[in-house]
């Protein structure tokens, strides 16, 4: 084996490069690849790639050094490769990394021996790992995984997916998602196959039939023998998966050819479930009828898990703010791109900021979505992660590899608390609480080079971001506010991104999660009281229907009747809840405050216990703030702001009658039992004059949980002390009254609230302000 070495010339005409390629292609000498760009006279070489066929074995020489032998279906045929001799430890590590079914790359000496690098870097790098998985992997030619960079040049491209078409010189590969009509049922002229690409195949490309039941039985095959997936019908469960290797890197994607194909038999099994641009079980599927395969209404079918069937969750990207803010996620989890421009002539201070990294194995969708809105995924300068869960950092390492391969850098931002753990809060209290990022994520941990400063605006010119530490969902969860300048009117608009909305892991109090339950609740009230947000940028599409809003907008714009009155996302998204009562000339509830109220209710109120047996609300089960186990009667308190009326959750989100599909808003089934548009609360920042509570739960604090019928010894953790603001007795609390039955009652209570006033009030054990028979006396 040898790697391809070429004299590279930057100004080398393309026809000479092509002649060089033609002159050396296809021989068994291991040569591969045309000329990557480089300075004149530079010598570059690509690493060689192949699929591990057999189990590796070790051979020990008389000096005790070990050689690894392994059979590989290489781009030049089936070969037995041997490494240079190395220490037993090194050899064992190399052997462990050689998993049959994985596509790997390596460098060989002129004699054909696989080089074991002296700097300790791996002899073989894994490009794609099929291993024992029956699931298909997906990778686009131009983005994502590739042969490892070498000699100053990006490595050759690889692609992966299901085979959907073949001609004598091309192959079509993708994820099989096809969309035939918009959400109004208006057919597309041509079905949309968004994640599918057609590549040119070299006439002498190597083809291998890979036996996934026994990799050692894999064998050489022919291009003509590659099966093509029969059709796109939902019921087609048998799909032909393949890996492809190209002769060149992404810089020459337009003229690169496929030089090796590994197709997998028996075929991959997919579950045949329908795919949509909107989330499965979206109310928008209510009129789509019955799935002929399962016999179930389309709206009742839940897609397979994102990680095993990413194709079932794909959706198209869309622009939210002209030329500045984009949705590039899937129909399950969000990812946004913000294009920031400081306004200077110097473009080096411009930024492309990607917010969260989605699910693993879904990277191809996010890269393609970025390309579809005109953003090169390799142009990302900063990746901002909200919290340490895999559905949000899932492609971070994949993106870093892509950037490394291109020789580009990207800053990775995260909360210190989810990466390194909670060591202190912003009041200076010391803690030792592990963060959510798993120990196994060593690469991401090592590459995270920026930790957030909280509660301040980062100014990137037309884009400003504030990060608010808001533990609950995880110890280091963060919420983000994006202030984005709309070039259409020159005004800034604020988007609220609640970066840790899930109640999973918090449904009933435990020693470990007690502080997080209170902190989770606090975070919602804190945001409702302290920030004015114009639009919701949800983190998951089952929280707020941002994908439905876009699809409704698209259907509207495709209606020929609307040709002369096209709308933008800025016009499709609503800022205020349509049916909220009007006070002082404006609707009192913002869509963001309403979204927050939904999950705050789930955490706080008895309705949770009644709707879901596994849920125990703070109201019934605690924890209660220390010293308030029996409530507080007639305690003095200083009011720190003017107070605010909070409406109970309104189920219809983003109701917008100017767009037919949004005429009634979107009612998302998750947690809809907290729908309570007729309930009102008065919420206020307050310094309660009690001497026990300090803004956190101390470690080892014992308390009875009435709902659980047991005593819990809490591990402790910060609640309001995640902020730096000081009060006299503890950091400011954002407390609210018990439920009021009308807006008029809420107005009567609010009339007694004024910043700086000291009042007498009573609290329930769950720190709700007691509403007496004369409601106005809640604050006396």
Residues that bind Zn ion (CB under 5 A): 389, 391
Residue 337 in tokens: 């791109």
Q: How far is the CB of 319 from Zn ion (least distance, A)?
A: 23
- Looking at beta carbons only, is 34 or 363 nearer to Zn ion? 363
Residue 258 in tokens: 């496929």
Q: How far is CA 621 from CA 263, 704, 715, in A?
A: 55, 8, 16
Phi (first) and psi of residue 25, to 5 degrees: -70, 145
Q: How far is the CB of 524 from Zn ion (least distance, A)?
A: 16
Q: How far is the CB of 442 from Zn ion (least distance, A)?
A: 20
CB 238 within 8 A of CB 272: no
DSSP states along 73-90:
EETTEEEEEEBPPB-HHH
Q: How far is the CB of 117 from Zn ion (least distance, A)?
A: 37
- Could you list the beta-strand ranges (E) of 336-472: 336-340, 351-355, 382-384, 411-414, 422-424, 430-433, 450-451, 457-459, 463-469
**Helix 396-406, helix 363-372: angle, nearest 10:** 60
Residue 638 in tokens: 């200083």
Nearest-angstrom CA–CA distance, 492 and 490: 7
- Looking at beta carbons only, is 389 or 522 nearer to Zn ion? 389
Q: How far is the CB of 504 from Zn ion (least distance, A)?
A: 8
Task: State whether residue 308 is helix, strand or coil.
Answer: coil
- Looking at beta carbons only, is 47 or 389 nearer to Zn ion? 389
Nearest-angstrom CA–CA distance, 224 and 211: 18
Q: How far is the CB of 479 from Zn ion (least distance, A)?
A: 13
- Could you list the beta-strand ranges (E) of 616-739: 632-639, 644-647, 652-653, 666-667, 680-688, 696-697, 701-705, 710-714, 717-718, 733-736
Q: How far is the CB of 418 from Zn ion (least distance, A)?
A: 10
The Cβ of residue 29 has, within 10 Å, a number of other Cβ atoms equal to 11
**Helix 591-604, helix 514-530: angle, nearest 10:** 160
CA angle (542 as vertex; 538, 544 as ends), nearest 5: 40
- Looking at beta carbons only, is 391 or 768 nearer to Zn ion? 391
Q: How far is the CB of 411 from Zn ion (least distance, A)?
A: 22
Q: Report the candidate in 45, 50, 120, 135 with the shortest Cα–Cα distance to residue 89.
A: 120
Q: How far is the CB of 386 from Zn ion (least distance, A)?
A: 8
Nearest-angstrom CA–CA distance, 160 and 262: 9
- Looking at beta carbons only, is 536 or 761 nearer to Zn ion? 536
Q: How far is the CB of 765 from Zn ion (least distance, A)?
A: 29
- Looking at beta carbons only, is 162 or 520 nearer to Zn ion? 520
- Looking at beta carbons only, is 419 or 688 nearer to Zn ion? 419
Nearest-angstrom CA–CA distance, 252 and 142: 9
Q: Report the candidate in 338, 147, 395, 148 with the shortest Cα–Cα distance to residue 259.
A: 147
Residue 651 in tokens: 């189920």
Nearest-angstrom CA–CA distance, 104 and 118: 19
Torsion sign across C-alpha atoms 729, 734, 737, 743: positive
Q: How far is the CB of 419 from Zn ion (least distance, A)?
A: 14
Q: Report the candidate in 599, 596, 687, 593 with the shortest Cα–Cα distance to residue 641.
A: 687
Tell me the CB-side half-sphere exposure of residue 586, using CA atoms within 13 A.
6
Q: How far is the CB of 499 from Zn ion (least distance, A)?
A: 8
Question: Residue 442: CB partners within 8 Å, gap ≥ 6?
Answer: none
CB 179 within 8 A of CB 277: yes
- Looking at beta carbons only, is 330 or 534 nearer to Zn ion? 330
Q: How far is the CB of 515 from Zn ion (least distance, A)?
A: 17
- Looking at beta carbons only, is 527 or 775 nearer to Zn ion? 527
- Looking at beta carbons only, is 129 or 308 nearer to Zn ion? 308
- Looking at beta carbons only, is 517 or 752 nearer to Zn ion? 517
Q: How far is the CB of 383 from Zn ion (least distance, A)?
A: 16
Q: How far is the CB of 225 from Zn ion (least distance, A)?
A: 42
The Cβ of residue 512 has, within 10 Å, a number of other Cβ atoms equal to 15
- Could you list the beta-strand ranges (E) of 123-266: 125-129, 158-166, 170-174, 179-181, 187-192, 196-211, 219-221, 238-239, 241-246, 258-265
- Looking at beta carbons only, is 196 or 391 nearer to Zn ion? 391
Nearest-angstrom CA–CA distance, 33 and 21: 7
- Looking at beta carbons only, is 275 or 335 nearer to Zn ion? 335
Residue 81 in tokens: 């490769």
- Looking at beta carbons only, is 391 or 548 nearer to Zn ion? 391
- Looking at beta carbons only, is 389 or 616 nearer to Zn ion? 389
CB 482 within 8 A of CB 460: no
Q: How far is the CB of 392 from Zn ion (least distance, A)?
A: 6
Q: How far is the CB of 539 from Zn ion (least distance, A)?
A: 6
Matching residue, tokens 């050819």: 257
448: left (phi over 0), alpha (psi -120 to 50) or beta: beta
| Closest-approach residue to Zn ion (CB) | 389
- Looking at beta carbons only, is 239 or 389 nearer to Zn ion? 389
Nearest-angstrom CA–CA distance, 315 and 295: 24
- Looking at beta carbons only, is 389 or 752 nearer to Zn ion? 389
Task: State whether residue 390 is helix, strand or coil.
Answer: helix
- Looking at beta carbons only, is 394 or 622 nearer to Zn ion? 394
Query: Is the bond into 562 cis (omega within 30 degrees of 0)?
Result: no
Q: How far is the CB of 669 from Zn ion (least distance, A)?
A: 17
Residue 708 in tokens: 């659980």
């Amino acid at each position: 084996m040898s790697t391809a070495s070429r004299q590279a010339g930057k100004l080398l005409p393309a026809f000479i490069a092509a002649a060089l390629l033609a002159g050396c292609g296809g021989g068994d000498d291991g040569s591969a690849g045309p000329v990557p760009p480089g300075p004149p006279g530079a010598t570059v070489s690509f690493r060689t790639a192949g699929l591990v066929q057999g189990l590796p074995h070790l051979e020990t020489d008389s000096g005790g050094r070990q050689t690894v032998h392994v059979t590989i279906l290489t781009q030049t045929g089936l070969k037995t490769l041997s490494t240079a001799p190395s220490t037993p430890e090194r050899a064992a590590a190399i052997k462990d990394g050689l998993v049959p079914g994985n596509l790997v790359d390596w460098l060989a000496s002129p004699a054909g021996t696989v080089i074991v690098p002296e700097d300790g870097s791996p002899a073989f790098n894994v490009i794609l790992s099929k291993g024992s998985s029956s699931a298909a992997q997906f990778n686009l030619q131009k983005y994502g995984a590739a042969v490892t960079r070498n000699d100053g040049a990006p490595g050759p491209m690889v692609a992966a997916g299901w085979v959907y078409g073949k001609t004598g010189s091309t192959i079509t590969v993708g994820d099989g998602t096809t969309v035939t009509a918009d959400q109004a049922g208006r057919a597309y002229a041509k079905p949309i196959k968004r994640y599918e690409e057609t590549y040119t195949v070299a006439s002498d490309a190597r083809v291998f039939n890979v036996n996934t039941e026994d990799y050692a039985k894999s064998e050489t095959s022919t291009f003509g023998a590659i099966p093509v997936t029969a059709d796109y019908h939902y019921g087609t469960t048998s799909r032909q998966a393949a890996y492809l290797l190209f002769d060149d890197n992404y810089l020459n994607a337009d003229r690169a050819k496929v030089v090796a194909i590994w197709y997998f038999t028996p075929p991959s099994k997919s579950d045949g479930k329908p795919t949509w641009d909107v989330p499965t079980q979206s109310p928008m599927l209510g009129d789509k009828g019955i799935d002929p395969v399962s016999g179930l209404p389309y709206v009742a079918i839940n897609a397979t898990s994102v990680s095993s069937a990413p194709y079932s969750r794909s959706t198209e990207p869309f622009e939210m703010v002209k030329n500045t803010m984009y949705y590039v996620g899937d129909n399950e989890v969000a990812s946004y791109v913000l294009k920031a421009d400081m306004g200077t002539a110097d473009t080096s201070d411009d930024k492309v900021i990607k917010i969260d990294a989605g699910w693993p194995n879904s990277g191809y969708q996010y890269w393609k979505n970025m390309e579809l809105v005109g953003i090169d995924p390799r142009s990302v300068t900063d990746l901002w992660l909200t919290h340490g869960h895999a559905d949000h950092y899932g492609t971070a390492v994949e993106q870093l590899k892509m950037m490394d391969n291109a020789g580009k850098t990207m800053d990775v931002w995260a909360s210190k608390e989810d990466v390194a753990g909670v060591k202190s809060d912003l009041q200076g209290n010391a803690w030792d609480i592990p963060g959510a990022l798993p120990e196994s994520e060593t690469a991401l941990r090592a590459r995270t080079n920026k930790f957030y400063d909280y509660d301040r605006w980062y100014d990137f010119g037309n884009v400003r971001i504030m990060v608010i530490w808001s533990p609950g969902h995880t110890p280091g969860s963060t919420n983000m506010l994006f202030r984005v300048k709309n070039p259409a009117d020159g005004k800034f608009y604020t988007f609220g991104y609640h970066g840790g909305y899930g109640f999973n892991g918090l449904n009933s109090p435990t020693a470990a999660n007690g502080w997080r339950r209170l902190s989770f609740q606090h975070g919602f009230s804190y945001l409702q009281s302290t920030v004015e947000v114009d639009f919701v940028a949800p983190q998951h599409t089952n929280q707020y229907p941002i994908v439905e809003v876009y699809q409704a907008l698209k259907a509207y714009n495709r209606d020929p009747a609307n040709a002369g009155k096209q709308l933008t996302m800025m016009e499709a998204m609503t800022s205020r809840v349509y049916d909220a009562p009007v006070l002082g000339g404006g609707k009192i509830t913002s869509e963001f405050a309403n979204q927050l109220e939904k999950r705050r209710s789930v955490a706080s109120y008895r309705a949770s216990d009644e709707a879901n047996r596994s849920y125990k609300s703070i109201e019934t089960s605690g924890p209660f703030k220390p010293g308030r186990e029996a409530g507080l009667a007639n305690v003095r308190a200083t009011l720190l702001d003017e107070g605010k009326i909070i409406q109970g959750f309104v189920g219809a989100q983003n109701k917008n009658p100017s767009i037919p599909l949004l005429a009634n808003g979107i009612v998302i089934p998750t947690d809809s039992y907290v729908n309570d548009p007729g309930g009102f609360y008065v919420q206020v920042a307050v310094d309660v004059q009690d001497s026990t509570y300090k803004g956190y739960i101390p470690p080892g604090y014992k308390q009875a949980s009435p709902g659980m019928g047991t005593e819990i010894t809490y591990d402790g953790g910060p609640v309001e002390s995640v902020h730096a603001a000081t009060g006299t007795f503890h950091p400011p609390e954002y407390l609210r009254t018990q439920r009021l039955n009308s807006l008029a009652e809420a107005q009567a209570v609010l009339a007694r609230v004024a910043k700086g006033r000291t009042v007498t009030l009573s609290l329930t054990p769950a720190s709700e302000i007691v509403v007496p028979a004369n409601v106005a006396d809640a604050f006396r």
